[in-house]
A and B are shown apart, each in its own frame.
Chain A
Amino acid sequence: MSNEQSMRRVTAIRNGTVIDHVPSGQALRVLEMLGIAGETSVPVSLVMNVPSKKLGSKDIIKVEDRELTQSELDRLALVAPDAHVAIIRAYVVAEKLSINLGEEVVNVVRCTFSNCITTNAREPLAHRLRVVSRDPLHLRCHYCGRPQNLDDLVKNAL
Chain B
Amino acid sequence: MTGLITMDDLTNEEILSILDDAERLLPVARGELYLPLLQGRIMGNLFFEPSTRTRMSFETAMKRLGGDVINLGDVKTSSVVKGETLFDTIQMVDGYTDIIAMRHPRQGAAQYAQDAARVPILNGGDGAGNHPTQTMLDLFTIRQAHGRLDGLKVVLAGDLRYGRTVHSLSHALTRFGCELIFASPTLLQMPAEIVSDLREHGATVTETEDLYGSIDDADVVYMTRIQKERFADEDEYARCAGAYKLHAKHLGDVKGNMIIMHPLPRVDEIHPSVDETRHARYFEQAFNGVVARMALLCRLLGVTVPADVNAQGGAL
A115, A117, A144 interface centre (most CB from chain B within 10 Å): A117
Interface residues on B, range: 20 to 34
Give Cα distance in the complex from A83 to B111, angstroms.
34
Give Cα distance in the complex from A117 to B115, angstroms.
13
- A114 to chain B minimum Cβ distance, whole angstroms, is 10
Whether the pair A123, B112 counts as a contact (CB closer than 8 A) is: yes
CB-nearest residue of chain B relative to A111? B108
Which of B86, B105, B129, B130 lies in contact with A123, CB distance below 8 A?
B86
Whether the pair A144, B107 counts as a contact (CB closer than 8 A) is: yes
- A2 to chain B minimum Cβ distance, whole angstroms, is 43
Q: Which residues of A contact B85 (CB under 8 A)?
A: 120, 122-124
Contacts A117-B86, A124-B87, A125-B116; A142 near B111 (Cβ below 8 A):
yes
Whether the pair B193, A147 counts as a contact (CB closer than 8 A) is: yes
Give Cα distance in the complex from A141 to B130, angstroms.
14
Whether the pair A115, B106 counts as a contact (CB closer than 8 A) is: yes
Contacts A123-B86, A143-B111; A116 near B116 (Cβ below 8 A):
no
- B288 to chain A minimum Cβ distance, whole angstroms, is 26
Given contacts A113-B107, A118-B108, list 18 more A-B pairs with CB under 8 A: A111-B108, A115-B105, A115-B106, A115-B107, A116-B107, A117-B104, A117-B109, A117-B112, A119-B106, A120-B106, A123-B85, A125-B115, A141-B108, A143-B108, A143-B115, A144-B129, A145-B108, A145-B129
Q: Which residues of B contact A122 (CB under 8 A)?
A: 83, 85
Give Cα distance in the complex from A125 to B106, angstroms.
15
- Interface residues of A, count at CB 8 A: 19
Give Cα distance in the complex from A146 to B107, angstroms.
9
Q: Which residues of B contact A117 (CB under 8 A)?
A: 86, 104, 106-109, 112, 126
B174 in the interface, Cβ–Cβ < 8 Å? Answer: no
**Can you pick out 24 interface pairs between chain A and chain B where the beta carbons lie within 8 Å of each other?**
A113-B107, A115-B105, A115-B106, A115-B128, A117-B106, A117-B108, A120-B86, A122-B83, A122-B85, A123-B86, A123-B87, A123-B112, A124-B85, A125-B87, A125-B112, A125-B116, A142-B108, A143-B107, A143-B111, A144-B107, A144-B129, A145-B107, A145-B130, A146-B107
